[in-house]
Structure 1
């Protein structure tokens, strides 16, 4: 197990290093001068040179890359070019919205997908199976931001049950905050539940066809006991892997949904930084979100190795 964890950790470090190089080069290749864009075309040459020196644009790219990585290694994310505040403070404040949104969407997705997928597997070929697979196809075909718009039209505009967007802040209480997050979380959850329900169905069908399940049926065990006591636990191994990756996506991939609902999360901050050409903020946010996905993938691999010893012995 230790060797397996070391190999996975080495892969984690190399992946983060490769991601940092890609992010840095992608921003370096953008046309235009970041300092010129921030100050405008009528700026004095000495003022432009001073800002270029402050941003480190007068130094070679390899030096700036090493300084950036060195700062990240000690927790220094730098200062935003536009907002002039430490980036870590901005990330911390926005995480207070993005992380609860991801958790709520993850819970809703699981609560929808597990019973739907299990029911479709148990009633394979029947109307329940057809309806669940139809729901899954619709969820895969429609983007989550379009779900968000439809939810706003129904629950905010037509019924008036919740607000159409914005976030009051957790200082106003737990319930107002959850009310502001429920529609965007549902918009995110529907798409993820469509994917997860298909995986649950496929995994359950494979498990229900195993010899030990047929033996349990031959012994006269009830269908409920067979599904819950025998099939579901083994079927959850690949399902748990997908659920871990989905949670990473819910944190890193909610950019459009956060903008549809006007939520002050990491996704909206990233889009604002792109529009305002705050390259330092864009660079840090993209790498942080990428690192979060890679880290969760690493934790899923470790958990999978603990659950399935065959993966450890084969080297994964």
Structure 2
């Protein structure tokens, strides 16, 4: 077990190095100069060159890359060019809304998708199955920004049940801030529940056709016990996989939803950094998201051992 875990950790480090390399050089290939953007159109070439030297942008790319890797190794992602703050501080300040948005969204997606997939598999081919499959297909194809605008118009503007946008005043309590996440969490939860529903249905259909399930039914066991204890327990491994991937995707892919609802999360921060060519913010955010992604995949692999002890690789 420990040897397998060490191999996985070594593979994760290789993945992070490749991601860091791609992120660094791809951001530099994008057109635009952060020094020129910061100083504006009226700045002279001398002023731009002086500011580039201040931020070390005049050095060869390979030298910049090596220095950046050394900083990452010590947990330092550099300083934001525009905000003039450490990247880790900026990311930490923006992490709360993104974290809670991902947590609430995947909870809603799981609470909707897993039961719907089970019901659809148990009543395969019937009107319930067709209805659930149709709703899942609809949810998978609904644009999140469109659904967000509809919910804002209905529940925030007309009914006034929830805030329209933002994340509360600077001195707002945690409960008031979390209230701003209800509508965006519903949007992402509904959209991502479609994939979970389809995976759960497919996994349950594979298990329900096995001999031991038919044997359990022939012994006269209640259908609920056969489905939930015998079938669902075996089908849980692929469901855990899609749940883990959903969490990772929500952390790094909620940019559109954060923009629609005006949430000051990491997604909004990355969009602003791209427009400003704030290299340290872009690099730090993407490496952080990649690190979370590989850690979630590692956690899913470890959960496999708890769900199904037969999994040893």
* TM category, shorter: over 0.9
CA contact (8 A) 2:33 2:277 kept: no
Alpha-carbon distance between aligned partners in 1 of 2:85 and 2:120, rounded to the nearest angstrom: 52
Unaligned runs of 5+ in 1: none
2:62 pairs with 1:55: no
Partner of 1:111: 111
Partner of 2:181: 181
Partner of 2:11: 11
2:172 pairs with 1:172: yes
CA RMSD of aligned residues (A): 1.7
- Runs ≥4 residues deviating over 6 A: none
Partner of 1:227: 227
Return 38-47 or 98-107, whichever deviates more: 38-47
2:280 pairs with 1:280: yes
Q: Deviations over 1:110-144 (max 9, x none)?
A: 11111111111111111111111011101111122
CA contact (8 A) 1:8 1:301 kept: no
Deviation at 1:290, TM superposition (A): 2.1
Partner of 2:79: 79
Alpha-carbon distance between aligned partners in 1 of 2:102 and 2:31, rounded to the nearest angstrom: 34
| Closer, same or farther: CA 169–288 of 1 in aligned 2, 3 Å | farther
For 1:237, what is the secondary structure of its paired residue? helix
Alignment of 1:279-298 (within 5 A): 279-298=279-298
CA contact (8 A) 2:120 2:128 kept: yes
Alignment of 1:96-175 (within 5 A): 96-168=96-168, 171-175=171-175
Alpha-carbon distance between aligned partners in 2 of 1:286 and 1:169, rounded to the nearest angstrom: 28
Unaligned runs of 5+ in 2: none
Q: TM-score, normalised by structure 1?
A: 0.94
Partner of 2:66: 66
Partner of 1:268: 268
Deviation at 1:79, TM superposition (A): 1.2
| Closer, same or farther: CA 99–124 of 1 in aligned 2, 3 Å | same
Deviation at 1:210, TM superposition (A): 1.1
Alpha-carbon distance between aligned partners in 1 of 2:261 and 2:116, rounded to the nearest angstrom: 28
Alpha-carbon distance between aligned partners in 2 of 1:283 and 1:185, rounded to the nearest angstrom: 27
Deviation at 1:264, TM superposition (A): 0.6
| Closer, same or farther: CA 59–42 of 1 in aligned 2, 3 Å | same
Return 152-161 or 297-306, whichever deviates more: 297-306
Partner of 2:207: 207
Q: TM-score, normalised by structure 2?
A: 0.94
CA contact (8 A) 1:16 1:291 kept: yes
CA contact (8 A) 1:184 1:257 kept: yes
Partner of 2:255: 255
Deviation at 1:286, TM superposition (A): 1.8
For 2:9, what is the secondary structure of its paired residue? helix
| Closer, same or farther: CA 189–245 of 1 in aligned 2, 3 Å | same
**Equivalent residues, number:** 313
For 1:172, what is the secondary structure of its paired residue? coil
Alpha-carbon distance between aligned partners in 2 of 1:158 and 1:58, rounded to the nearest angstrom: 54
